[in-house]
Amino acid sequence: MLMNKGRSPSQYQNVDNMSYSEKEALKQLPEASSWPKFSGTGEFDHMEVIDYINELFIDVPSIPDYGITSRLNTAFKGHASIWYTEMKEIHGRNWQWWKSKIIQNYRNGTWIWQNTIFFENHKYSVDKDPYEWCLRQYKKLKAIDPQMNIQMRNHTLLTQIPREPEHAVRCRCNQNCTLDDIANNLQDVRKRTNIGKYTPYKSSGFKDKQPFMV
């Protein structure tokens, strides 16, 4: 079992009550030092921790709740670490409780508003890397509305692309396509076509003639 040095025996007081499958699941958990860190001041860091732990439950379904909560202290740092310590002293509940409190405390109205403004102002242009742009905008959409379905996510993302390349990408992707499909096709349009590209006007070197006046 993954017992790191320096931990007190009390941290493992629930292990004896675990089933064999739960104990085996604990062995499959990545070392806590490799988990995403959460400061409470990063752009998406609290969502990254939540998503990471959600994926752990999917990959190893028999993980006991204790396997997550006993490692949470290593994921928090800075201001979030202080918040976590204070909350733990008062409550110290299971992962679902912690998950709801993290979202309640850090996914507040100001945070959602800031992400909405950024998303609306961060439109695509040919000088942006399609993969980086799609990923960043996807994270913003997920922050604004975690329950948004794939069709709405794709539609909303594509509305941030200028009309001609947007149309070209829509023709190449169906409404249920993946984020990679959008990024790949946007890159294809960017690299292999002139769609959305504008050739700057080059002066001939002569001053424009004034219209003939009578």
Q: Is residue 12 part of a domain?
A: no
**pLDDT band at residue 111 under the 50/70/90 scheme:** confident
pLDDT digits (tens, 9 = 90+) for 64-79: 888 888 888 888 888 8
Q: Is the same domain home to 138 and 185?
A: yes
Of 106, 123, 85, 132, nearest in space to 41 by CA: 106
Q: Is residue 208 part of a domain?
A: no
Range of the domain at 139: 110-192
Radius of gyration of the chain (CA): 25
Q: Is residue 166 part of a domain?
A: yes
Q: Is the same domain home to 187 and 160?
A: yes
87, 107, 127 - which closes a domain: 107
More confident residue, 115 or 13: 115
Q: Is the same domain home to 74 and 85?
A: yes
107, 140, 174 - which closes a domain: 107
CA 95 – CA 109 distance, rounded (Å): 23
Q: Is residue 5 part of a domain?
A: no
Q: Is the same domain home to 103 and 126?
A: no
Q: Is residue 69 part of a domain?
A: yes
| Per-residue pLDDT at 157 | 95
| Per-residue pLDDT at 197 | 62
Q: Is the same domain home to 121 and 88?
A: no
Q: Is the same domain home to 69 and 143?
A: no
User: Quick check: 183 and 130 in contact, CB under 8 A?
Assistant: yes
Q: Is the same domain home to 120 and 188?
A: yes
| Per-residue pLDDT at 107 | 85
- Mean pLDDT, rounded, for 7-11: 38
CA 55 – CA 76 distance, rounded (Å): 18
Q: Is residue 101 part of a domain?
A: yes
State yes or no: pLDDT of 135 exceeds 90. yes
State yes or no: pLDDT of 207 exceeds 50. no
Q: Is the same domain home to 96 and 115?
A: no
Number of domains in the chain: 2
Q: Is the same domain home to 27 and 71?
A: yes
Q: Is the same domain home to 29 and 92?
A: yes
46, 75, 107 - which closes a domain: 107
CA 120 – CA 179 distance, rounded (Å): 18
CA 148 – CA 74 distance, rounded (Å): 31
